[in-house]
């Protein structure tokens, strides 16, 4: 381990080892070999990070900084991210297996999220109330909610951090950022940019470690006022239980089994591109993966044929190579889950048209897979596998399509492909999903809220409303009369 590059924690403005000296190795999913080590936080380190965040809230260097100055600091961070996008992208690719072409581009675009919230920092306004009592001037002000525990997974971590850190810092909060122990290196390197941007000590700390020693002590800490969590439903249930100890305001951005509805009048080329992007883009490792392809019966054979042809032409390989389409999955456990789910689906009568097995090469590679299902209860239509698996199920009518789309515990993303504008409005209005893409898929923007329904979580990230979620409203009453306050025991 001593020969590997090593990444420390970042607590209270300092780079440091964990209090127990514990370290872990992280594995390159493309090779299956350890490539770096990182420090692991223990409960004492969590305590130190939260204490520093609490102290920073009252430190004049942050507390008294104008909202405009906070915006300038976020802009400086955005510039540093843009300047270091290739470096951060390469680290993320090496650590998680995501394609470099995607990680570098996404990191560069993430800078715009910080610029967006930099611009909103001095637009957080209160109001003067037309109160119904004479001689009273009453106004409201939005104040920082306090210490934020931001928990992000290994996939799309720069993006998922920006949707939490950007609005939190713009609102004047302080943040303890917990990175996934599966692939934390990009976030630990990101801490260097936070430090360089000049945020006062304790305003942002970056830690990582296992659930017992890091995530649980953080999310149940009595000084944490807000929890922003992205991950799976099982972990989220623990987070919600932990928040009962501190009554922290909690938002959850969880997984999904997003439907993509393709109607007979759709542009087939566009629809197939949407299905490919929604399922094989990012190697299927996306919470909004459109893994339930619902295709109108009259065109289902054509769609299957086209997707099968395209899937067989996908280049699987080194995620650092510019011509690779699909790289490895982050963990071996994902492949094991996919293989088991595919076996169950086949027992249920499903047909695999292409793929269906791991790729015979070092690393965690899974062949892009197309499954034709005969029942909405097929395992691949119910289980989030977090890999390049597309399940196709035919439908007959618009009503059938809507019913099948909404037949899920999840409700994050959705897609509709049709050239009928009236149908697009009708269908999107009835889909139980937080996001609906029409004739496109996986588009994002700092301006557009992101979040879901059901077991896809609650709360929204990005957009104007997100910044308000990191504030509380304070109401101030001022008696403007020169007369003394009335005797409270004399009613008039």
Tell me the mean pLDDT in the region 288-309.
Answer: 97
Query: 202 is written with which tokens?
Result: 């304790």
Closest CA to 54 of 187, 251, 195, 226: 226
Closest CA to 443 of 433, 435, 452: 435
| pLDDT reported for residue 405 | 98
| pLDDT reported for residue 2 | 59
User: pLDDT confidence of 386, banded at 50, 70, 90?
Assistant: very high
Structure confidence by residue, pLDDT tens digits, 417-464 = 999 999 999 999 999 999 999 999 999 999 999 999 999 999 999 999
- Half-sphere CA count of 174, side-chain side, radius 13 A: 29
Structure confidence by residue, pLDDT tens digits, 1-41 = 458 999 999 999 999 999 999 999 999 999 999 999 999 99
Tell me the mean pLDDT in the region 287-294.
Answer: 96
| pLDDT reported for residue 64 | 97
| pLDDT reported for residue 26 | 96
| pLDDT reported for residue 3 | 85
| pLDDT reported for residue 335 | 96
Closest CA to 122 of 165, 75, 69: 69
| pLDDT reported for residue 486 | 86
Structure confidence by residue, pLDDT tens digits, 52-110 = 999 999 999 999 999 999 999 999 999 999 999 999 999 999 999 999 999 999 999 99
Q: Are 176 and 218 in contact (CB under 8 A)?
A: yes
| pLDDT reported for residue 198 | 97
| pLDDT reported for residue 490 | 87
| pLDDT reported for residue 476 | 98
Mean pLDDT of all residues in the chain?
A: 96
Closest CA to 39 of 13, 12, 21: 21
Output the furthest CA–CA distance in the chain (Å, rounded).
87
| pLDDT reported for residue 336 | 96
Domains identified in the chain and CATH numbers? 6-254+456-476 (3.40.605.10), 259-438 (3.40.309.10)
By annotation, the residues acting in catalysis are 253
| pLDDT reported for residue 294 | 98
| pLDDT reported for residue 27 | 96
| pLDDT reported for residue 412 | 96
Structure confidence by residue, pLDDT tens digits, 141-199 = 999 999 999 999 999 899 999 999 999 999 999 999 999 999 999 999 999 999 999 99
Task: Give the N- to C-terminal CA distance of the chain in Å, as an integer.
Answer: 79
| pLDDT reported for residue 193 | 98
| pLDDT reported for residue 492 | 67
| pLDDT reported for residue 479 | 96
């Amino acid at each position: 381990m001593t020969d590997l590059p090593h990444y420390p924690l970042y607590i209270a403005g300092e780079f440091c080892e964990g209090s127990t000296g514990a370290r872990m190795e992280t594995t390159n999913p493309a090779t299956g070999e350890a490539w770096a080590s990182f420090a692991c936080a223990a409960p004492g380190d969590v305590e130190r990070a939260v204490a520093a965040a609490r102290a920073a809230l009252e430190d004049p260097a942050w507390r008294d900084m104008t909202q405009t100055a906070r915006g300038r600091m976020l802009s400086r961070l955005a510039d540093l991210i843009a300047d270091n996008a290739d470096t951060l992208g390469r680290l993320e690719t090496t650590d998680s297996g995501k394609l470099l072409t995607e990680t570098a581009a996404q990191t560069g675009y993430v800078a715009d999220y910080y610029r967006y919230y930099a611009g909103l920092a001095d637009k957080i306004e209160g109001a003067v109330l037309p109160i119904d009592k004479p001689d009273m001037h009453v106004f409201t002000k939005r104040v920082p909610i306090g210490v934020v525990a931001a928990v992000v997974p290994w996939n799309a971590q720069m993006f998922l951090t920006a949707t939490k850190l950007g609005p939190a810092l713009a609102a004047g909060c302080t943040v303890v950022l917990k990175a996934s122990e599966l692939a934390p290196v990009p976030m630990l390197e990101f801490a260097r940019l936070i430090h360089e941007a000049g945020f006062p000590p304790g305003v942002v700390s970056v830690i990582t470690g296992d659930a017992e020693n890091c995530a649980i002590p953080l999310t149940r800490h009595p000084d944490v006022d807000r929890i922003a969590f992205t991950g799976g439903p099982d972990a989220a249930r623990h987070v919600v239980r932990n928040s009962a100890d501190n009554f922290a305001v909690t938002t959850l951005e969880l997984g999904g089994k997003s439907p993509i509805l393709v109607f007979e009048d759709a542009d087939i080329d566009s629809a197939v591109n949407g299905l490919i992007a929604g399922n094989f883009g990012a190697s299927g490792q996306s919470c909004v993966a459109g893994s339930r392809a619902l295709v109108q019966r009259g065109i289902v054979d054509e769609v299957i044929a086209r997707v099968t042809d395209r899937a067989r032409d996908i280049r699987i390989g080194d995620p650092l190579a510019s011509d690779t389409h699909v790289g490895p999955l982050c963990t071996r456990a994902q492949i094991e889950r996919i293989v088991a789910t595919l076996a169950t689906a086949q027992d249920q009568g499903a047909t695999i048209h292409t793929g269906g097995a791991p790729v015979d090469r070092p690393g965690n590679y899974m062949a892009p897979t197309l499954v034709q299902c005969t029942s909405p209860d097929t395992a691949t239509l119910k289980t989030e596998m977090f890999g390049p698996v597309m399940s196709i199920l035919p439908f007959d009518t618009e009503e059938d399509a809507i019913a099948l789309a909404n037949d899920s515990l999840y409700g994050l993303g959705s897609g509709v492909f049709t050239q009928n504008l009236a149908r697009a409005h009708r269908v999107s209005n009835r889909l139980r999903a937080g996001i609906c893409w029409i004739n496109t898929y996986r588009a994002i923007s700092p301006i557009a809220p992101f979040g879901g329904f059901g077991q896809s979580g609650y709360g929204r990230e990005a957009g104007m409303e997100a910044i308000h979620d990191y504030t509380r409203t304070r109401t101030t009453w001022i008696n403007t009369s020169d007369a003394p306050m009335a005797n409270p025991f004399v009613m008039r």
